Structure 1
Amino acid sequence: MHDVPMARPTLLLPCILAAASAVLSSPLFCDAHGKTSGKSADIVNGPLLTTKLNAKRTLIVGPNDEFKTIQSAIDAVPVGNYEWIIVHLRSGIYTEKVVIPETKPFIFVRGNGKGRTSVSYESASPHNAESATFAVHADNVVVFGLSFRNAARAGLPNNPEIRTVAAMVSGDKVAFYHCAFYSPHHTLYDHTGRHYYESCYIQGNIDFIFGGAQSIFQTTEIFVKPDRRTPILGSITAQDRKVEQDSGGFVFLKGKVYGVGEVYLGRANEAYSRVVFVNTYLSKTINPAGWTNYGYSGSTEHVTLGEFNCTGPGADASQRVPWSRQLTQADAAKFLTVDFIDGKDWLPAFY
């Protein structure tokens, strides 16, 4: 079941695609000195992305189309698929849970903008994966112009049912462009794999970007909502890197953090947790300590929770916890380009 209040007839599809392409920006990548440079003015601008992916087939989802739900279109993709297939969503709100299984790679899910095309479902569970509104388990998936919302209420603090994930990403080589993620708790489960998020919006309050993935968040807005159920301050991130050999970590490049109330940039969650904010605007929403080890009893000797060249009132490092890091140019260098996620091998910008 889904509600699609703004569905468009099939003959308008080219117009929709053209309109979407007009408002999209090209990706920006930092150079070795932390400055941004455009890869190309036409990397991710509507039909051109389709050309780069060389998609052979398009499945259209809408009230008057062959596929009435997103999941039915995903189900129609052959097991073991090896060529890019577009799943294009008409504008509207799709009330359903969506799972892209491990056996169905090379899917490009495309909406008409995060303000016009939304996947929403009310689901709370003790388990992150079970609560997710949208889950990607396949490798080689691109998602564009969609919002994802878990509409469940947060419930009581420390209640095991409060897991309300908007999106879970456990496939490798997965990219989200111009997407939004909403949930009252544990918004984005960035579970495992190499991921890229560009020009996205992520909203939440407690550990709302969490998991063990190896990810770059480029020009992403993070909005903090207060959790009025508890006096304990939440954290934006909780990264699960357990050993030094693990390549995982969250890197935030040229984004913006703002909102209501107060929050930490992240918390030490494992012995080698790694989160870095680079060239990011930090509002007064950030607690002066910056980082916390709440709920973690292990050593912070090997965690990498740090900042480089950030601005704004929340970037004042004078009261940061002693085990956090203000990175030098040399320290930050390995986080400044898509090489951190081997992006030149798989991102559409480099096709």
Structure 2
Amino acid sequence: MTISLHKHSFNKIVVKLFLLILLLESTSSLLDTNVSNGYLVSEKEYLNWVKQIGSFKHSLFQKATNKLTPCSTIRVNKNSKLTGNFVTVQKAISSIPVVNNCRVVISISAGIYREKVLIPATMAYITLEGAGADTTIIEWDDTADRIGQTGHPLGTFGSATFAVDAPYFIAKNITFKNIAPSPPSGALGKQAVALRISADTAAFFSCKVIGAQDTLYDHIGRHYFKDCYIEGSVDFIFGNGLSCYKECHLNAITSTYGALTAQKRESFLEETGFSFVNCKVTGSGALYLGRAWGTFSRVVFAYTYMDKIITPRGWYDWGDKNRETTVFYGQYKCWGPGADFGGRVSWSRELTAEEAEPFISLGFINGQDWLPN
């Protein structure tokens, strides 16, 4: 075991060194601050690098080997008089071996489950199946400024109603909800996460994620959302995941200014970013498509309907002009009254087919390796 771990660590070091050499070669002109038509002179080299990095199958992540055939099924029903192994979701999860090595399905009956849930890092291969997103709801109301059991504020990370720290997680037909009241504009410590994903290879099908400020913490890892509904006000999809959102409905509930995304990519070496494909954006207020939380923040919208709530500028640099030369914000064949690219900031992009291609397929997250068919 010791030898294989050393070999794995050595291989990862070699891969990182190789990528660093490639990066230095392909982006050496970044030191030149000349700008042409609002873009860095090195933009072509950068796009070439994006294309090349895609061919490595995101080698900085571990090779994904999923297990999809169930070895057991656990049932949850909040009405203990009816057939069901457990009355809470957390108790069902806690019944699974601490180190889990096979696919366990947790079937959750209709009902509102008022509880805070955590799937620890060692419990891989868990599937949660609800009776329908409108009828199976997991909700809580923590905020970042709430004092936790340690006597300190929970923080944004700890405010999550439902948190996933284990790889190969799947959820179907469930609502994850933070019911803390929507905070007034400028309020501090009111981040209220409904769902936090801090693990690789997680997938969500026909789920709802509902909150206000900082609804979905797409923290780290490769993630896939299909036919999901996500609602919030400010930065309601945020984090540093490498994630694909396909055919999702994104709904804003702000009465003033809000932001759909806050992606936190901090360097060229980070293979992260958010891709939205065949989605729709609706709601109220005035909404930025994204704010540059990270210096190299990366977000792409493709084939997406945008309602009139999208601000003409589209994107915000987080108050740091330097980020305008390092972020990657793009649209490709989007439509609707909010999709007009004419008023967008000069440092966003209307992508060509070639530029958009790495972002719109499952290859963006290596989904062909680990997603169910």
TM-score bracket, normalised by the shorter chain, equals: 0.7 to 0.9
> Structure 1 stretches (4+) deviating beyond 3 angstroms?
154-160, 294-298
| Larger mean Cα displacement after TM superposition, 293-302 or 136-145 | 293-302
Q: Is the 8 A contact 1:132 1:165 kept in 2?
A: yes
Residue 315 of structure 1 corresponds to: 339
- Cα distance in 2 for partners of 1:221, 1:321 equals 24
- Cα distance in 2 for partners of 1:249, 1:103 equals 26
Matching residue's letter, 1:308: Y
- Cα distance in 2 for partners of 1:280, 1:155 equals 28
Residue 298 of structure 2 corresponds to: 274
CA RMSD of aligned residues (A): 1.3
Residue 55 of structure 1 corresponds to: 70
Matching residue's letter, 1:321: V
What SS is found at the alignment partner of 1:315?
coil
TM-score of the aligned structures, taking structure 2 as reference length: 0.77
Gaps of 5+ in 1: 1-51
Residue 291 of structure 1 corresponds to: 315
**Which residue of 186, 190, 197 maps to 1:162?**
190
Change (3 A) 1:323 1:297: closer
What SS is found at the alignment partner of 1:289?
coil
Structure 2 residue 227 is the aligned partner of structure 1 residue 208: no
Gaps of 5+ in 2: 1-66, 146-154
Structure 2 residue 282 is the aligned partner of structure 1 residue 258: yes
Structure 2 residue 72 is the aligned partner of structure 1 residue 83: no
Matching residue's letter, 2:117: V
Q: Is the 8 A contact 2:317 2:323 kept in 1?
A: no
Residue 368 of structure 2 corresponds to: 344
Q: Is the 8 A contact 1:270 1:296 kept in 2?
A: no
- Cα distance in 2 for partners of 1:176, 1:84 equals 16
**Which residue of 125, 128, 134 maps to 2:144?**
125
Please report how far the alpha carbon of residue 224 of structure 1 lies from its aligned counterpart in structure 2 after TM superposition.
0.9
Q: Is the 8 A contact 1:269 1:296 kept in 2?
A: no
Q: Is the 8 A contact 2:301 2:332 kept in 1?
A: yes
Matching residue's letter, 1:54: T
Aligned residues with identical type, % of pairs: 39
Give a deviation string over 1:138-194, Cα, whole Å, max 9, x none.
001000000011011233444432010000001100000000011121100000000
**Which residue of 134, 156, 166 maps to 1:115?**
134
- Cα distance in 2 for partners of 1:80, 1:294 equals 41
Give a deviation string over 1:254-282, Cα, whole Å, max 9, x none.
01001112101111222210000000001
Residues paired across the two proteins, number? 294
- Cα distance in 1 for partners of 2:119, 2:136 equals 18
- Cα distance in 1 for partners of 2:104, 2:311 equals 44
Please report how far the alpha carbon of residue 293 of structure 1 lies from its aligned counterpart in structure 2 after TM superposition.
1.4
Greater Rg over alpha carbons, structure: 2
| Larger mean Cα displacement after TM superposition, 142-151 or 122-131 | 122-131
What SS is found at the alignment partner of 2:163?
strand
Give a deviation string over 1:185-220, Cα, whole Å, max 9, x none.
110000000000000000111000000000000000
Structure 2 residue 223 is the aligned partner of structure 1 residue 199: no
Residue 96 of structure 1 corresponds to: 115
Matching residue's letter, 1:137: D
Q: Is the 8 A contact 2:296 2:323 kept in 1?
A: no
Q: Is the 8 A contact 1:156 1:162 kept in 2?
A: no
- Cα distance in 1 for partners of 2:222, 2:174 equals 20
Change (3 A) 1:156 1:259: closer
| Larger mean Cα displacement after TM superposition, 286-295 or 309-318 | 286-295
- Cα distance in 2 for partners of 1:155, 1:204 equals 11
Matching residue's letter, 1:124: T
Residue 306 of structure 1 corresponds to: 330
More helix, by proportion: 2
Please report how far the alpha carbon of residue 92 of structure 1 lies from its aligned counterpart in structure 2 after TM superposition.
0.6
Matches within 5 A, 1:160-239: 160-227=188-255, 231=256, 233-239=257-263
Structure 2 residue 165 is the aligned partner of structure 1 residue 137: yes
Q: Is the 8 A contact 1:181 1:188 kept in 2?
A: yes
Structure 2 residue 267 is the aligned partner of structure 1 residue 243: yes
Q: Is the 8 A contact 1:123 1:132 kept in 2?
A: yes
Matching residue's letter, 1:205: S
What SS is found at the alignment partner of 1:53?
coil
- Cα distance in 2 for partners of 1:237, 1:202 equals 11
Please report how far the alpha carbon of residue 336 of structure 1 lies from its aligned counterpart in structure 2 after TM superposition.
1.5
